[in-house]
Chains A and B, each alone.
Chain A
């Protein structure tokens, strides 16, 4: 028995009768595609990247009615024209892997727009089943859609459903199975190009006949050429003999407005479908979304609402997340390290040092930030799921323009206050490569919780009652430097151009806890995995440098490096110990304090007093400034490497932050020395 839609269970019997049915899930953003994917696969899903791309690839498996399925979630895209890596991935998967069935998820409440992707899918040589999702939402909005009429008009199966309520899912799977077995008639009615371009389309199709690479349908290639699709153009330029290409190219050049004719043709086709199937269109009433947006997208109130929401997230982070992090650090990492030292008291000192200080003190300390990250991940997933994220991007667009970005970059950057790693991963929501790169380069300038922890510890020690002022000043300084760097980089690297801002504002809806939960789970998992690999290795290396060749921390390689670099540190008023503390912050920002503790041979309480007595305020301030702007931690650098897929940009980012932080530190030290002479 496995007719239940909500829990497609894995069969107990090993069904080896045939290979699983390969289903590709396609759909535009905000049509409920992820909800359906999560509903079908639950925890039986694997999240990775598409080969060579920084686009998330989700795949899962499940069994239904004794048939096993492999489900690949294609990236959510509005079309299949190669405007973005996502669109390219989606169509290449369909053309190369030839899934048994493509399930095209469309939103019944915005049928006209969401059928556009279907118009692009039907000409591909793979059968399509349309999942007419959000029937319940459409009904609430006063829209009535007739699935049977739509099915007759499209010529492909249409299954009405609601993924959030689990309605219609068994019917969808039955249809998919029958389609995969070839038991269903399939005669799609294809959209046509606008009549004034039909002739030129035929000309091109004729000219390229015989030269089109095997897996691509000829008429589809001709259409994509007319649309000016960069990838298909490149492919055909290589495939055609030069004279033939010249001929085709001349035709294309004479019709460079064909793009509009192709899109118009698709919308004309959609118009016919919608007119047939939608028996009662949206009535003129003002819906919930419109009412909420009067406030949420207002130029003033929108910012107030955004600030309040972000304030709440911060409040949660600091009242719930930070104490848990502190407890984990003291009782988790601290106790564990002590226990390991106890167990290994008979073993060589290097072994207990390696495990207690290197592994547990390094990678373990990074892991203690997980509770803070979980809160951030949950808040972001919630805001995304209910549809608020797009509004936040909208109201921040004006301010983000000042630094060469647009609204969509705001939320990834905001994530940086929790941890820079999710900020860099979160930059995936930005559709232009240029804006994404700039966001990644700027993200490390957002002061993360680990940096704030160092400030919160050191500022009171040095500045007493003025500490909150100093802490706020440092946050504002980081953001100021971020804005300035953004302006300069945008001008220097990209000639001051901005990427286009155009995005859908989805309807608000109730949160889907399953989607939110799975998103938090997967992001946390990937963070833990990183802590267990890259961060672990670097922690051990830094630990080794700080202990070897023996004879105490002062004689270590790290100390020698610090002493070697001291002349550079002097420019900012830092001695070798502060320089070493800064270097060790590369593993994890809060390591600065631990390192100073080792070098001064003091516990945390004693350390504060000792530091205040040792360093003049100008040095202290300069150290804090460098600390907050310095090269990010290794986890962040690894994320930058992963997301830019380029060592060049990773090194550039490190160099940039090195220059910016040292410059700011030097200026701070020299100005502060004049204004705040050493009291002693």
Chain B
């Protein structure tokens, strides 16, 4: 259902934008430029953190919950966060 091609071949990690609403993952890596990375880290998107997707309509921005905070992020930004899907 997503338009993203996961740039990482490992089958266990996938971009955050590929998680459906209600699914939870653990962040494994944050890519992207220094500045964007810094802003995501500051808002609590760090490797090891659990993240739940609250809204993802397959296009447009997403809403996720991370560290008890609701964060909206663009699809482009969300595709730079890699997660391991949790059951």
Chain A residues near B (Cβ < 8 Å): 78-79, 81, 83, 109-113, 116, 227-228, 259-260, 263-264, 267, 282, 289-290, 293, 297, 299, 390, 393-394, 397-398, 406-407, 498, 500-507
Contacts and interface: CB of A to CB of B under 8 A. Distances in A.
Interface in B43-87: 43-44, 46-49, 54-55, 57, 59-61, 63, 67-74, 76-77
Contacts of B46: 260, 263-264, 267
A504 B77 contact: no
B74 A81 contact: no
Given A282-B68, A398-B61, A501-B61, A406 B74 contact: yes
Given A116-B42, A259-B34, A505 B70 contact: yes
Given A113-B43, A500-B36, A289 B61 contact: no
A80 B39 CA distance: 11
Interface centre among B34, B36, B41, B57 (most CB of A within 10 A): B41
Contacts of A406: 74
Contact of A501 (B35, B41, B77): B77
B41 to A, nearest CB: 4
A501 B38 CA distance: 13
B20 interface: no
A112 B44 contact: yes
Nearest to B61: A397
B44 to A, nearest CB: 5
A79 B42 contact: yes
Given A113-B67, A394-B61, A501-B77, A260 B37 contact: yes
26 contacts: A78-B39, A78-B43, A110-B68, A113-B43, A227-B38, A259-B41, A263-B46, A267-B46, A267-B49, A293-B63, A297-B55, A299-B60, A393-B72, A394-B61, A397-B72, A407-B72, A500-B39, A500-B76, A501-B61, A501-B72, A501-B77, A502-B72, A502-B73, A502-B77, A504-B71, A505-B70
B30 interface: yes
Given A501-B76, A501-B77, 12 more contacts: A83-B39, A112-B68, A112-B69, A116-B42, A116-B44, A259-B34, A260-B47, A264-B46, A397-B74, A502-B77, A503-B71, A504-B71
A393 B71 CA distance: 12
B40 interface: yes
B21 to A, nearest CB: 11
A293 B63 CA distance: 10
Nearest to B73: A502
Contact of A83 (B38, B59, B63): B38
Contacts of B77: 500-502
Contacts of A263: 38, 41-42, 46
A81 to B, nearest CB: 6
Contacts of A299: 57, 60
A293 B72 CA distance: 12
**Interface-centre pick from A264, A293, A502 (highest chain B CB count, 10 A):** A502
A78 B71 CA distance: 13
A292 B37 CA distance: 30
A576 to B, nearest CB: 51
A447 B69 CA distance: 37
Contacts of A113: 43-44, 67-69
Contacts of B30: 260
A264 B61 CA distance: 25
A116 B68 CA distance: 13
B74 A112 contact: no
Nearest to B58: A299
A505 B57 contact: no
Contact of B37 (A259, A293, A501): A259
A503 B61 CA distance: 11
Nearest to A264: B46
Interface centre among B40, B57, B60 (most CB of A within 10 A): B60
A289 B72 CA distance: 14
Contacts of B70: 289, 293, 504-507
Contacts of B47: 260, 264
Nearest to A394: B72
Given A260-B47, A505-B71, A397 B60 contact: yes
Contacts of A504: 43, 69-72
B47 to A, nearest CB: 6
* Residue among A78, A112, A390, A500 facing the most chain B CB atoms (10 A cut-off): A500
B71 A502 contact: yes
A112 B63 contact: no
Contacts of B74: 397, 406, 500-502
A434 to B, nearest CB: 12
A314 to B, nearest CB: 26
A398 B43 contact: no
Contact of A505 (B35, B37, B39, B72): B72
